[in-house]
Amino acid sequence: MGSLGACDTIQHDINQLFGLGSDGERSWSPPLEVVEAKDRFVVTLELPGVAAASVKVSLEDDILTISGERAFSAGEGAEVRFSERAYGRFERSVRLPAPVQTDQVSANSKDGILTVSLPKTEDAKPRDIKVTVA
């Protein structure tokens, strides 16, 4: 990726200020949380109003990426008078701090919360080491 010129940098800053993506379309960033347990990582995202069918979860190397879209629909003949909600596409990526068992990763959605469970590999799990006396 090349460096941005002065005009491009200003446009990028304006897009960021108004919640617009690099293509000028409205974007949003749902809150993300990563919790590490002894045997797994659990990643959660708040996705109220996002259809599960529009959510994509992918894992490449040690980077988990979750993307999707919250569509806007005011209904036939309706006019929006005021709205603070964000709509459009989103993408969140997080680098996992340790290797996971990619074939055991699971994702589920309930009450607008997406939960991704990523079991650690055996090498990544903490172990107690017995000290022997010589």
pLDDT digits (tens, 9 = 90+) for 73-125: 878 888 888 888 888 899 999 999 999 999 999 999 999 999 999 999 887 66
Copy the structure tokens of residue 40: 């797994």
* CA pair distance 106, 103, nearest whole angstrom: 9
**Spatial CA neighbour of 42 closest among 116, 122, 110, 120:** 116
Q: Is the CATH number 3.40.50.300 carried by domain 26-122?
A: no
Question: pLDDT at residue 40 above 50?
Answer: yes
* CA pair distance 109, 86, nearest whole angstrom: 20
Confidence (pTM): 0.71
Which DSSP letter does residue 27 get? Answer: B
**Spatial CA neighbour of 30 closest among 54, 73, 66:** 66
Question: pLDDT at residue 1 above 60?
Answer: no
Contact 52, 129 (CB under 8 A): no
Copy the structure tokens of residue 82: 């005021």
